[in-house]
């Protein structure tokens, strides 16, 4: 079933069949807590059958793409690490565009960020670093904040994986990477360059990896303030699913809107499939991919 009040929740002037590239969020879209969303395997099977390229994109900086791929494969999908971009991997990619190879970088973050930085050829160092890179870190100390601020005041670039102030955990709402960035910004007097959603870099990196065109790319997510706002800023079409954190009431009150809203990925897949069949070239595409 589609959401109620369809005329308000669906862009009736756009055609899902025209999209050949998808950037999808994960938590709240592909899984919830530790459980896969119903229809997850069929959703990815549909994307493969229709030759729709996709990238799974997340602001989570703590986990490497390989671990996320392992999780998705344990759910029965065939998603590979190359089809996953995290705020850590996008941050490491961004560093290669602004720093010389082998540069010293001071990192506050967990293994997902540290391994991404090292894999791109940078040296993690507490001294003489020319960039400070910050993600979520469960073991954050005052001395780390002090060192980061000292380096930034000395001219080091200040880069954050994402600016999520909080996120939900088993014990409730807890501080996110944005809270750490705020402390360092206060101590240094310098605003960070932020890579994750809703900023442009994460989506831009995902599109670059797919060699995607803007008019053929659609963003899928469950959060208005990250997934959908990021799409709006890049002039990308967007799809919101109501299987995550956003409610209909929040949607109606939002200053920025997705182009489509569906209950979940099964609802989306069903509508997307019908859109392809209704498209003049839909049946040809189905036969070609069969």
- Which residues carry out catalysis? 25, 27
**Do 148 and 189 meet the contact criterion of CB atoms below 8 Å apart?**
no
How is residue 74 annotated by DSSP?
Answer: H
**CB pairs under 8 A, 24+ apart, for 114-123?**
115/64, 116/64, 116/86, 116/88, 116/89, 116/91, 116/92, 117/88, 117/91, 117/92, 119/92, 120/92, 120/93, 120/95, 120/96, 121/96, 122/92, 122/95
**Do 44 and 79 meet the contact criterion of CB atoms below 8 Å apart?**
yes
DSSP E strand boundaries for 38-83: 53-58
- Report residue 21 as tokens: 């590239």
Q: What 3-state DSSP class applies to 259?
A: coil
Q: Rounded to the nearest 5°, which phi and psi values hold at 90?
A: -70, -35
Instruction: Give the Cα separation of 271 and 2 in Å (integer).
Output: 9
Instruction: Give the Cα separation of 263 and 130 in Å (integer).
Output: 46
Q: List the one residue out of 27, 71, 57, 63 whose CA is nearest residue 245.
A: 27
């Amino acid at each position: 079933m589609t959401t109620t009040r369809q005329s308000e929740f669906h862009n009736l002037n756009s055609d899902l069949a025209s999209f050949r590239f998808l950037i999808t969020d994960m938590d709240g879209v592909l899984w919830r807590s530790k459980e896969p969303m119903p229809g997850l395997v069929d959703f990815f099977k549909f994307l493969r059958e229709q030759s729709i390229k996709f990238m799974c994109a997340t602001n989570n900086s703590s986990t490497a793409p390989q671990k996320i791929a392992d999780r998705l494969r344990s759910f029965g999908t065939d998603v590979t690490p190359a089809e996953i971009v995290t705020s850590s991997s996008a941050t490491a990619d961004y560093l290669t565009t602004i720093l010389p190879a082998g540069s010293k970088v001071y990192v506050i973050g967990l293994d997902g960020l540290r391994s991404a930085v090292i894999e791109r050829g940078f040296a993690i160092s507490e001294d003489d670093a020319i960039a400070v890179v910050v993600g979520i870190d469960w073991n954050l100390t005052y001395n780390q904040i002090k060192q980061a601020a000292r380096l930034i005041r000395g001219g080091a670039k200040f880069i954050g994986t994402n600016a999520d102030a909080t996120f939900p955990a088993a014990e409730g709402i807890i501080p996110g990477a944005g809270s750490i960035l705020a402390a360092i910004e206060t101590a240094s007097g310098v605003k960070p360059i932020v890579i994750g959603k809703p900023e442009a870099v994460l989506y831009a990196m995902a599109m670059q990896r797919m060699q995607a065109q803007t008019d053929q790319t659609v963003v899928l997510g469950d959060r208005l303030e990250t997934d959908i706002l990021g799409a709006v800023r890049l002039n990308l079409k967007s799809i919101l699913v109501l299987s995550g954190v956003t409610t209909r009431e929040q949607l109606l009150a939002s200053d920025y809107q997705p182009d489509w809203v569906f209950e979940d990925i099964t609802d989306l897949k069903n509508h997307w499939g019908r859109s392809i069949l209704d498209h003049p070239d839909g049946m040809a595409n189905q036969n070609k991919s069969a």
